[in-house]
Structure 1
């Protein structure tokens, strides 16, 4: 099992940061990948519970993630639901606010489907770099 954990503080209200990171298309722009919502969520939240996003990081490569928990301005959890060499994948973005600043605790865990040496480690490092870069870029935009 591979685990990625990081914390980022934003000089912005939690609602603003939550909306920036939990909107599927906006998250795609931050990541530099094509991400589109293909199924709307429930209860009036298009990016919320049971919404599905298709992620196409490279031409001819795409996979889907489904939101499995959603609490506005607090929590979004998702899992890969289609098209990837990963299994048991779960992402969790937990938001809190302290003194007008937002704290994001982001965690991802996954296994690989195939016993290819170092595959999990390489994917973990790649995700850490890409997600870390995107989240830090967003944090700098609020300075």
Structure 2
């Protein structure tokens, strides 16, 4: 298993950053994201705990479930299904107020589920996963600055 960690400070209030990043429908405006579908709404919030969402990009198709939703500080998720197949330990997005806005820390631990060379395929996938997180955070920052 390998972990991708991305940290970025977004110059916007904590509640706004939390709401933007936990509402996966916003990801449709991220470059290379083709489609986002809320498969099942969450227990108390449509994108909260219990929600299942499908995210489709040219290289990945992910079905993930929100397993913890602590507004406005933390969202944790796990993959239910993916193409290509991934073994996923957990992902999380943490939010912390700072003088410049909101510090976001996005972390995901995974590996490519391959019969051979899984560590190599996983190492090759790391920049793609990191790049995806960065694109989502950049889009959030751009849109929240204009708000």
TM-score by length of 2: 0.85
Q: CA deviation at 1:137?
A: 3.5
- What's the counterpart of residue 6 of structure 2? 6
**RMSD, aligned α-carbons:** 2.0
- What's the counterpart of residue 57 of structure 1? 57
| Aligned positions of 1:25-64 closer than 5 A | 25-33=25-33, 34-43=35-44, 45-58=45-58, 62-64=61-63
Runs of at least 5 residues in structure 1 that lack an aligned partner in the other structure: none
Alpha-carbon displacement from aligned partner over 1:112-139 (angstroms, at most 9, x marks no partner): 2113352101211101112213312432
Q: What is the number of equivalent residue pairs in this alignment?
A: 141
> How far apart in 2 are the matches of 1:63 and 1:6?
19
Cα separation, partners in 2 of 1:63 and 1:134, compared to 1, 3 Å: closer
Q: CA deviation at 1:62?
A: 2.9
